[in-house]
Every structure is written in structure tokens, then in C-alpha cells.
Structure 1
Amino acid sequence: MVYETKVGTFDISEENVINFKNGIPGFEHLKKFAVISLAETEPIKWLVSLEDKNIGLPIVDPWIAFSNYSINLNQSVLDELGNPKRENVLVFCVISLKEPVTINLVAPIVINLEKGIGMQVILEGTNYSVREPIKASD
């Protein structure tokens, strides 16, 4: 199906639609999203709403900027995600592109690729920040 999104118009097959049962914080009313890769913004990808063409969040693999990043998902989160196998899970973090560029390491986007289920998880008991500065590598 063809969708108009914040970053362009794309033909997105149903198997690439990610369903967020509870939406994501700030956009609880939106349930259908897709991850879009654009060559000109790699490694930044876009989590775009398929229901509101004005909503798109820049996301990135957190291990690109923080190789020691670690998350533990509790059983209720795993249940909500359909108990995915590790190899079927993608993790992204939302970044802010305003200077200074920051990444939200406290609330990763976790996606079960096999079932097309996603959720934004709030990590508890962590020293991570919602606005962790990303420093350019030398």
C-alpha cells in the first residue's frame, strides 16, 4: 500500500507495518508505523506514522554510538511483544537532531520483526539519560 509520510511517499507492504498497541508516548492515538531507511540520512532511520503523514521520528541503533548500551526486558514487555526470539528483535533509540544532538537511551523502541509488534519501553533503574549527548567520532 502507498503511504505518504513525513520523509516521502513509500509503497509499504503489510508485513513491514509495525503495530504499536498503545501507540508511543506523545502519539498514543497512532498505532501503525514503519521504519524507513534513507541513504542520505544513514545511519539515522525514520519511525514514521502510517496514519499521520506529519509524524516521523529520527531513530538510530543505540550500539552505533554507545557500544556498551544494555537493556533488560521484563517478562510483561516480552509478552506484549509476542515473546520474540532474540534474532527477531530490533532496538532503536529516538534522537534529537537539534544541536547538540542527543539520544534517548531510557526509552528504546523495541520491535518484534516476526510479528510486526513494537513498543517504546521505559527502562527502570538505569543511569542512562533521555538526552545523552552523541559525540562525533574522530
Structure 2
Amino acid sequence: MHIQTKYHGEVEINQEEILSFKKGIPGFPDEKQFIILPLSDDGEFAAMQSIQTTTLAFVIANPFSFEPTYDIEIENYVIEALEIKDEKDLAVYSILTVQDPFEKTTANFQAPVIINIKNKHAMQVILNNSNYETKHPIFTNKMPVGSKG
């Protein structure tokens, strides 16, 4: 299947890799199908591209890459809705707000995207009683881009 994308132009995708958001994403209730496409060679950044809307793609990243102490509790309704049977079937992403310069980019740690990688069911979950922010700086615990350690 071929789709038009915001960042990659036309790409061929495997239909089995399409994520299904039964209720859409907060703010985009009609957007129910997305695909994850890499944005960087190292795989650290990706685009969660809408299948339906070419211009809708969220830049995402694994929150644990930027905040090793990131710790969330996934409520039972999420586990049931996504049909999660085993913790190893989970993938967690944060939606980024890309800034200029890129080092000022932030991540939404309060509303992670939770994916069951086996059945491709997904949901953006707004955490209750969270100390996490919607605009968490992601480069505070990492060396600046281009520096050597």
C-alpha cells in the first residue's frame, strides 16, 4: 500500500504495521490509523504518520531515551482496551514539540502513546496524578548534539 506522508513523500507501507487508535487521538478523534516511520538514522526519532491525512504526522521518541527514570503506571482500562497480555508487548512513545533550535525540543511525558506491538492497537493516555509535564525538555540529561564524551 502506498501513502503520501508529511516528511517522506510517497512511501510504501506494510498494512500489517498500521496502528489502530479506536477512539483517535485527543484533539484528532477522526484520526484512527497511523504508521511509525523513522526520521533519524539511529532510530531515536520517528514520525507517527496519519494514514488518512498526509499533513498530519507527530514526531515521537522513546521517553526512556531522554529520561531513564521515567516511570508510568498503566491503568487496567488501558491494558484491557489494548488487549495487553505481556509487558514485553508494550511500546511507549512521547509526542515531541519540535523547536528551533532542535535542542529546545520538548516531549509530552504526561500523555504517552501506548502501543500493543503484537496486535497494533494503540492509545494516547493522559496520566492521572502525574508529576510529568506536557513540555518536558528532552536534552537536559543528554550531551548536546555533536559533542563527544
Give the alignment's TM-score, normalised by structure 1: 0.93
Q: Which of 104, 116, 123 in structure 2 is aligned with 1:119?
A: 123
What stretches of structure 1 move > 4 A for 4+ residues in a row? none
Equivalent position of 2:63 in the other structure: 62
- Give how far 1:43 is off: 1.3
CA distance in 2, matches of 1:45, 1:122: 21
- The answer for unaligned runs of 5 or more in structure 1 is none
Against the structure 1 CA distance between its residues 55 and 83, is the aligned structure 2 distance closer, same or farther, given a 3 Å change threshold? same
Offset from partner CA, 1:22-49 (integer Å, 9 cap, x none): 1101111111101111335841111000
SS in 2 for 1:77: helix
Q: Which deviates further from its counterpart, 31-40 or 60-69?
A: 31-40
1:6 corresponds to 2:10 = no
Q: Which is greater in Rg? A: 2
Moved more, 75-84 or 15-24: 75-84
For structure 2, the residue ranges without an aligned partner over 5 or more in a row are 144-149
- In the other structure, the counterpart of 1:53 is 54
For the pair 1:44 / 2:45, whether they are aligned, the reply is: yes
Cα RMSD between the aligned structures?
Answer: 1.4
| Contact kept in structure 1, 2:38 and 2:45, CA below 8 Å | yes
Q: What count of residue pairs does the alignment treat as equivalent?
A: 138
Amino-acid identity (%): 28
State the Cα deviation string for residues 32-80 of structure 1 (Å, max 9, x = none): 1011113358411110000000000000000110000011111111111
What's the counterpart of residue 23 of structure 1? 24
Contact 1:84 1:114 in 2 (8 A): no
